Chain A
């Protein structure tokens, strides 16, 4: 049982718990969708450990499937965040089409055997740009928001840190997937992703908390 308790799973379950508590009654469907996405994330993580450690098989195909969910959810979330400032439906459609082409292209090229890391790298780059564009919209907007408790800002902060921070590991993916550093029990990629996951889910948990407080304060005002 302890097999399934890793830094990643613990922080993911923690974030899922916060999401359930804070977003269960949220008015925005996209924020409620976070619960479902986190549920998928936790299920993927636990299944990946099971496949790797118990069944002794490669879990990369599972992460390939999860990449589709990840792209779909994060892209849609960004689209909804932009919606307050601009409408970018065309951008979303174009991006999702490009991603699908890239993903299946790479998958076929790899004969469905390895992780689509090139598509994942493009995905990271696009999400970094999407986060920066969100900052640009905040800066351009004439309306002032208290950023320290502005949920979308913290959600984007977590996303930017995670995808920007994972750039180097994505670049060296081929090498790192083989590498084992003697001083550590896990590969460096795993350690980096542990740190990034902690940062990502802490930011997201804080964003969910902000959203909860915002809902509470607006309902008490009404």
Chain B
């Protein structure tokens, strides 16, 4: 069968049109994908910003908490020591050298204790310094202060000796720990606090349990009272972890935070 020139013309034109449309679709696809890439980049950027904001907030809260501890320590501990030193010194009778010597020695001892306490306090004052000890060191340091208050019996168990340094994550985890501890101090009416720190298969598991009054988690959440709890949940989610609250009225509370580390 003979093909006419017109048929060839039609055929070639058709093929050319198809071959022209194909690259246009290709260009459209690349542009569309690129736009999605832009959107994805923007989302990643905003998540990064949110994380940085949260980190900054955590750092500020750690500092705030530290200042509160410092204030109460100054008032309850160092203030008392210095007051006692003043009383001791003012009661010295120069005419009774033997007693005066004894009192001066006692005042010196009190002043030395005050200096020691002040040094410890100055170390605590720098929130960043606290984190620079590493998460494990910071947790232990915080618990030491709490134990000194003699308000709670503290049981701390950690199977982790060292953790790889991850500055941002460490600050947020430490703040989560502080927040949970603060909740126990304020609301739980507990006598004993048990802290467990484990590191299994790149997962850091921090559990904080108390023998306090506990609470109805569902009800608290429904009444939108547990802003602190929501804050903990939000922060844990931000670093890709999970948190569970095992509690009921009268049975104490166990908060378990699991974070990929």
Q: Which positions in A face B, CB cutoff 8 Å?
A: 131-132, 135, 138-139, 144-145, 147-148, 153, 157, 160-161, 164-165, 167-169, 171-172, 175-176, 179-182, 188, 192, 199
Cα distance A76–B19 in the bound complex, in angstroms:
25
Cα distance A138–B31 in the bound complex, in angstroms:
10
By size class, the interface of chain B is 20 to 34
Chain B: minimal CB distance from A24 (Å):
28
A147-B30, A169-B12, A175-B8 known; A164+B23 contact, CB < 8 A: yes
A165-B20, A167-B19 known; A192+B12 contact, CB < 8 A: yes
| B20 & A161 in contact (Cβ 8 Å cutoff) | yes
B38 within 8 Å of A (CB atoms)? yes
Give the residue of A160, A167, A175, A179 whose beta carbon is less than 8 angstroms from that of B26: A160
CB-defined contacts of A160 to chain B, threshold 8 Å: 23, 26-27
A144-B34, A164-B20, A188-B8 known; 5 new pairs, CB 8 Å cut-off, are A139-B30, A145-B34, A167-B15, A172-B8, A176-B12
| A165 & B41 in contact (Cβ 8 Å cutoff) | no
Give the residue of A145, A180, A188, A199 whose beta carbon is less than 8 angstroms from that of B12: A188
Chain B: minimal CB distance from A97 (Å):
28
Cα distance A71–B48 in the bound complex, in angstroms:
46
| B37 & A144 in contact (Cβ 8 Å cutoff) | yes
B22 within 8 Å of A (CB atoms)? yes
Q: Which positions in B face A, CB cutoff 8 Å?
A: 5-6, 8-9, 12-13, 15-16, 19-20, 22-24, 26-27, 30-31, 33-34, 37-38, 41
| A161 & B16 in contact (Cβ 8 Å cutoff) | no
Task: Determine which residue in B8, B9, B19, B37 has the highest number of CB atoms from chain A within 10 A of its CB, and name it.
Answer: B19
Cα distance A175–B15 in the bound complex, in angstroms:
15
Cα distance A175–B4 in the bound complex, in angstroms:
12
CB-defined contacts of B31 to chain A, threshold 8 Å: 147-148
| A179 & B16 in contact (Cβ 8 Å cutoff) | no
Cα distance A212–B186 in the bound complex, in angstroms:
66
Cα distance A180–B24 in the bound complex, in angstroms:
29
Cα distance A188–B131 in the bound complex, in angstroms:
77
Chain B: minimal CB distance from A176 (Å):
7
| B34 & A138 in contact (Cβ 8 Å cutoff) | yes
Chain B: minimal CB distance from A189 (Å):
8
Cα distance A148–B41 in the bound complex, in angstroms:
18
Residue in chain B with minimal CB distance to A150: B34
Give the residue of B9, B22, B24 whose beta carbon is less than 8 angstroms from that of A188: B9
Chain A: minimal CB distance from B3 (Å):
9
Cα distance A164–B19 in the bound complex, in angstroms:
6
A144-B41, A168-B16 known; A161+B9 contact, CB < 8 A: no
